[in-house]
C-alpha cells in the first residue's frame, strides 16, 4: 500500500540523516568531546557483574567524574565498553540494561569480562541506535502486509484501514453513558467516546485541560468494560518518552491499579521502581531458586577460568565440562525467569512502556484489545505502529497544536514525516475526536489568543483560574514592544541572539522581583520561567542572571530554558524573549506558531512577551497577538522603561 511505502521511504531518509549526524559527532571527536556531547561516560569503575539471560554477562559500572554532565545513555540503547589503551581494539558491545543516576548496567555480548577491563581506564560509548529504526521499519512492513490482506479475513484488521483513511471508524451506540463526578462535561464526553469506540477514539487536550486525569479515569473504565469481554487481558498504555510513561504509571498506580512498567523509568523514585519488572521479579517467591542457581553457575564459570593458563587435553576437557554445566544451569534460570515474567504479565491490569519499548522481549508476542497512546502529538508515526499492531482498538491522546516530534532530516520533515498520526486522524475522522474545553491553568487573558488561533475559541477558563492574579490589580498579560530601541539581533553560530533585549528582560525582571519581595516571602515566592526559542539567547540570559546580586536569593524559583524543554510544565510567571529584530522582517523559526502556543500557555498568572513589533507584524499570528494586547490595554513600549 502506498501509504506505508511512503512512510518507509521517509523513515529511511531520517535514519540516514540521523546516522550522518551521529558519525559527525563521534568519528572525529576525542573522548572528552564525546563526553561533553553526552555520548560517553569516561572514566568509569566496575562495581560488580553477574550472569544474565542467554549466558551474557551484565556489568554494573559507575561514572566516577564529570557527574554533572547531562548524557543520552538510556535503557535499551546499544553501547560499548572500551579500554583506553586501544579503544578501537579493546571494546565489547552490549545493551544498556538499566540506568539510574551515575550508575548503569550493561549486558555485554560475552560470557566473561575481557582482559582489557582489568587495567587501564575504561569508558562506555553510546552506539548509534539502529534497534529503534529496525523496530519501526519492521512495524511499518507488517502494517503494510496487513493492509493488503482482503477485508473480512481475520488478518485484514479494520483498525489499520481506519487509521489509513480507507474506512470510517464505528461506535457502539447502545452503551449507557457513564459520568464521573471528578470530571467536567467534556472530560466525561471523552471517556464515553473512548468506551463506545470500536477502533479509534481521540482525546484532544489543549494546555491545562486535564488530559492525564481524563485518561486515567478512561483506562479504569476500559479495564472494567474489557474484563467482562476478554476475561482480563491487560491494557497497553504507551507514550513517546520515558517521562510521560512514568507520569501515567504513577497516576494509574495511585488509582489502585496493578501496573507493570516495562523498561527503565527516567524518574528514579521508590514508588515507580516498585512497578518495574525487575522489582516485581525480585519480590516473586520463585526468585530464590534462580539466585541459588545463578550462584552455582558462577562458581562453575570461575572454576573453568582457573584452567585458562594451562592447556593440556584433560584441562581443556575439564574446562569444557564446567562451562557446559554452567550453561545448563543458566538455561534452567532462563526458564524460571520466563515463567515469572509470564505470571506477572498475566496478573497486571495495565502494562506501560515507551512506543519502542512495547516490543520489549517480555511483551513482544502479546496481543491486547486496546492500546492507549499518550502524548501522540509528539510521537513519530512509524513508532506508533509498533504498539498499534498488537491491538484491535487505539486511543490517541495529545495536542497536535503543540510541538511535533523532532525530525533530523529536513527533506523527510518537508515530505510529511513531521506530520503525526494524531494530526492525520483528527483531519480524517472528526467523529472520533473529543476536545477538552475547560482549562485549569491560566488567567483567561493569557489563554485568549491561543484559544482563538488554535482551538476555534472553544477553550474556557475554569472559574478557579479565570481571574487569578499574582496580587490585586496586577495585569496578567503584557506585550513589551522594543521597536525603535535599536535592539538588533546578532547571529551567534547557527542561533540568533539579542544581547540588548536580554539585558532589558533581566532588568525588567529584577525590578519586578523587588516589587514581589514586598508581597511574598522567599518560601512562597512565585515560580518564574524565562523562555526563548533560541539556544544562544538562553545562554546569554543565564549569564546575565548570574551577575545580578538582587536576584540571588530568589534564583531557586527561576528556570531559564528553550520552549521545547518546558512542554508539559507550568509556572506562575513566564517571560518570553522573542529575540528577532531586523529590517527585513525575517522571523525564522518563530514562524512555527505551534512552538509559540507552547511558550505562551506555560503561564498561570502572568505572561510578559518581549519583542520587536516592526519585525514580528509581518506574521499574522504575531500581528493578531499585538492587536489583541492593544485591545485589552496590555501593550507597552520598551521606551517606558528606558
For 40, 43, 66, 267, 274, the CA distances from 102, given in Å and listed in that order, are 12, 12, 10, 13, 20
For 163, 191, 280, 421, the CA distances from 397, given in Å and listed in that order, are 15, 12, 29, 11
For 293, 304, 317, the CA distances from 326, given in Å and listed in that order, are 9, 10, 14
Q: What angle do CA 533, 538, 542 make, to 5 degrees?
A: 155
Cell of 70: 547531562
User: How far apart (Å, rounded) are the C-alpha atoms in residues 253 and 265?
Assistant: 14
Alpha helices in 469-592 (DSSP H): 499-517, 535-546
pLDDT in tens, 172-188: 999 999 999 999 999 99
Across 30-44, 142-156, 429-443, 544-558, the highest mean pLDDT is recorded for 429-443
Is the per-residue pLDDT at 268 higher than 80? no
Burial class (CB in 10 A: 0-12, 13-18, 19+), 209: buried
Overall average pLDDT of the 25-31 stretch: 84
Order of strands, sheet of 200-204, starting from the edge strand that comes earlier in the sequence: 259-261, 350-354, 235-239, 370-373, 393-398, 200-204, 433-435
Confidence class for position 494, pLDDT limits 50, 70, 90 = confident
CB contact at 8 A, 579 and 497: yes
Whose grid coordinates read 469481554? 229
138: left (phi over 0), alpha (psi -120 to 50) or beta: alpha
- The helix/strand/coil state of 612 is coil
- DSSP secondary structure of 356-394: GGGG-TTTTT---SEEEESSGGGS-HHHHHHHHTT-SEE
Task: Specify the pTM.
Answer: 0.92
Percent of the chain whose predicted confidence (pLDDT) is above 70: 97
Beta strands in 184-229 (DSSP E): 200-204
Overall average pLDDT of the 181-197 stretch: 97
Across 63-67, 224-228, 517-521, the highest mean pLDDT is recorded for 517-521
Overall average pLDDT of the 335-348 stretch: 92
What is the pLDDT at residue 182? 94
What is the pLDDT at residue 100? 84
CB contact at 8 A, 636 and 481: yes
CB contact at 8 A, 61 and 74: no
User: How far apart (Å, rounded) are the C-alpha atoms in residues 571 and 603?
Assistant: 5
What is the pLDDT at residue 188? 98
What is the pLDDT at residue 340? 94
Confidence class for position 308, pLDDT limits 50, 70, 90 = low
What is the pLDDT at residue 156? 57
Mean of per-residue pLDDT scores for the chain: 92
CB contact at 8 A, 531 and 577: yes
Is the per-residue pLDDT at 345 higher than 60? yes
Confidence class for position 309, pLDDT limits 50, 70, 90 = low
Is the per-residue pLDDT at 115 higher than 80? yes
Cell of 362: 517480555
Is the per-residue pLDDT at 466 higher than 90? yes
User: How far apart (Å, rounded) are the C-alpha atoms in residues 64 and 69?
Assistant: 12
Overall average pLDDT of the 28-32 stretch: 86
Confidence class for position 299, pLDDT limits 50, 70, 90 = confident
Is the per-residue pLDDT at 230 higher than 90? no
Is the per-residue pLDDT at 87 higher than 80? no
For 26, 98, 535, the CA distances from 39, given in Å and listed in that order, are 8, 16, 20
What is the pLDDT at residue 231? 65
What is the pLDDT at residue 226? 82
- The helix/strand/coil state of 201 is strand
Overall average pLDDT of the 406-413 stretch: 95
pLDDT in tens, 140-175: 999 999 988 877 665 658 999 999 999 999 999 999
What is the pLDDT at residue 49? 86
SS (H, E, C) 385-406: HHHHCCCCEEEEEECCCCCCCC
Higher-pLDDT residue of 343 and 87 is 343
Residue 95 CB neighbours (<10 A): 18
pLDDT in tens, 568-608: 899 999 999 999 999 999 998 899 999 999 999 999 999 99
User: How far apart (Å, rounded) are the C-alpha atoms in residues 486 and 368?
Assistant: 61
Cell of 443: 488567567
Nearest residue to 417 via CA among 404, 426, 401, 430? 404
Confidence class for position 369, pLDDT limits 50, 70, 90 = very high
Backbone angles phi, psi at 108, to 5 degrees: -90, 150
- The helix/strand/coil state of 30 is coil
CB contact at 8 A, 533 and 611: no
CB contact at 8 A, 190 and 173: no
CB contact at 8 A, 214 and 328: no
Overall average pLDDT of the 443-462 stretch: 98
User: How far apart (Å, rounded) are the C-alpha atoms in residues 405 and 418?
Assistant: 6
Helix (H) / strand (E) element for 82: namely strand 78-83
User: How far apart (Å, rounded) are the C-alpha atoms in residues 167 and 429?
Assistant: 10
Confidence class for position 270, pLDDT limits 50, 70, 90 = confident
Nearest residue to 610 via CA among 581, 586, 582? 581
pLDDT in tens, 56-78: 889 999 999 998 888 989 888 89
What is the pLDDT at residue 246? 93
What is the pLDDT at residue 52? 78
Amino acid at each position: 500500500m502506498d501509504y506505508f511505502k511512503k512512510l518507509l521511504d521517509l523513515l529511511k531518509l531520517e535514519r540516514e540523516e540521523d546516522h550522518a549526524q551521529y558519525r559527525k559527532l563521534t568519528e572525529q571527536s576525542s573522548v572528552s568531546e564525546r563526553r561533553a556531547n553526552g555520548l560517553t561516560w569516561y572514566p568509569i569503575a566496575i562495581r560488580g557483574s553477574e550472569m544474565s539471560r542467554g549466558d551474557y554477562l551484565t556489568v554494573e559500572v559507575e561514572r566516577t567524574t564529570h557527574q554533572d554532565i547531562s548524557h543520552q545513555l538510556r535503557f535499551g540503547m546499544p553501547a560499548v565498553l572500551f579500554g583506553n589503551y586501544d579503544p578501537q581494539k579493546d571494546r565489547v558491545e552490549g545493551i544498556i540494561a538499566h540506568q539510574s543516576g551515575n550508575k548503569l548496567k550493561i549486558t555485554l555480548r560475552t560470557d566473561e569480562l575481557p582482559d582489557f577491563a582489568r587495567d587501564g581506564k575504561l569508558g562506555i560509548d553510546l552506539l548509534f541506535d539502529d534497534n529503534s529504526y529496525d523496530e519501526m521499519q519492521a512495524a511499518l512492513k507488517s502494517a503494510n502486509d496487513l493492509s493488503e490482506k482482503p477485508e473480512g479475513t481475520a488478518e485484514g484488521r479494520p483498525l489499520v484501514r481506519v487509521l489509513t483513511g480507507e474506512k470510517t471508524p464505528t461506535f457502539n451506540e447502545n452503551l449507557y453513558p457513564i459520568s464521573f463526578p471528578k470530571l467536567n462535561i467534556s472530560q466525561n464526553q471523552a471517556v464515553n467516546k473512548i468506551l463506545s469506540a470500536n477502533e479509534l477514539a481521540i482525546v484532544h487536550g489543549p494546555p491545562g485541560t486535564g488530559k492525564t486525569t481524563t485518561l486515567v479515569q478512561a483506562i479504569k473504565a476500559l479495564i472494567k468494560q474489557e474484563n467482562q469481554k476478554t476475561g482480563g487481558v491487560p491494557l497497553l498504555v504507551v507514550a513517546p518518552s520515558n517521562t510521560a510513561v512514568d507520569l501515567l504509571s504513577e497516576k494509574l498506580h495511585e488509582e489502585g491499579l496493578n501496573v507493570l512498567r516495562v523498561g527503565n523509568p527516567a524518574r528514579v523514585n521508590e514508588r515507580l521502581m516498585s512497578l518495574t519488572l525487575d522489582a516485581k521479579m525480585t519480590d516473586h517467591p520463585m526468585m530464590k531458586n534462580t539466585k541459588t542457581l545463578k550462584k552455582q553457575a558462577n562458581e562453575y564459570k570461575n572454576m573453568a577460568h582457573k584452567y585458562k593458563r594451562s592447556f593440556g587435553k584433560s584441562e581443556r576437557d575439564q574446562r569444557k565440562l564446567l562451562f557446559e554445566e554452567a550453561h545448563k544451569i543458566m538455561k534452567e534460570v532462563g526458564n524460571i525467569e520466563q515463567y515469572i515474567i509470564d505470571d506477572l504479565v498475566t496478573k497486571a491490569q495495565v502494562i506501560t512502556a515507551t512506543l519502542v519499548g512495547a516490543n520489549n522481549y517480555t511483551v513482544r508476542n502479546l496481543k491486547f484489545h486496546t492500546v492507549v497512546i499518550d502524548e501522540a502529538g509528539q510521537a513519530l508515526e512509524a513508532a506508533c505502529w509498533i504498539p498499534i499492531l498488537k491491538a484491535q482498538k487505539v486511543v490517541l491522546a495529545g495536542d497536535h497544536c503543540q510541538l511535533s516530534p523532532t525530525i533530523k532530516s529536513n527533506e523527510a520533515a518537508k515530505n510529511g514525516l513531521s506530520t503525526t498520526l494524531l494530526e492525520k486522524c483528527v483531519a480524517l475522522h472528526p467523529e472520533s475526536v473529543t476536545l477538552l474545553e475547560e482549562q485549569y491553568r491560566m488567567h483567561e487573558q493569557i489563554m485568549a489568543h491561543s484559544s482563538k488561533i488554535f482551538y476555534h475559541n472553544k477553550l474556557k477558563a475554569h472559574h478557579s483560574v479565570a481571574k487569578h492574579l499574582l496580587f490585586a490589580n496586577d495585569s496578567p498579560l503584557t506585550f513589551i514592544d522594543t521597536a525603535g530601541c535599536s535592539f538588533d539581533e546578532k547571529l551567534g553560530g547557527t542561533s540568533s541572539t539579542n544581547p540588548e533585549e536580554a539585558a532589558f528582560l533581566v532588568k525588567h525582571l529584577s525590578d519586578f522581583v523587588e516589587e514581589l519581595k514586598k508581597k511574598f516571602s522567599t518560601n512562597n515566592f512565585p515560580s518564574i520561567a524565562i523562555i526563548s526559542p533560541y539556544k544562544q539567547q538562553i545562554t546569554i540570559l543565564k549569564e546575565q542572571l548570574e551577575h545580578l546580586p538582587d536576584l540571588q536569593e530568589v534564583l531557586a524559583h527561576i528556570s531559564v530554558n528553550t520552549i521545547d524543554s518546558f512542554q508539559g510544565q507550568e509556572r506562575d510567571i513566564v517571560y518570553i524573549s522573542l529575540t528577532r529584530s531586523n529590517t527585513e522582517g525575517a522571523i525564522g523559526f518563530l514562524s512555527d506558531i505551534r512552538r509559540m502556543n507552547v511558550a505562551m500557555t506555560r503561564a498561570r498568572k502572568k505572561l510578559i512577551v518581549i519583542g520587536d513589533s516592526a519585525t514580528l507584524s509581518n506574521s499574522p499570528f504575531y500581528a493578531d497577538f499585538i492587536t489583541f494586547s492593544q485591545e485589552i490595554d496590555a501593550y507597552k513600549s520598551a521606551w517606558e522603561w528606558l
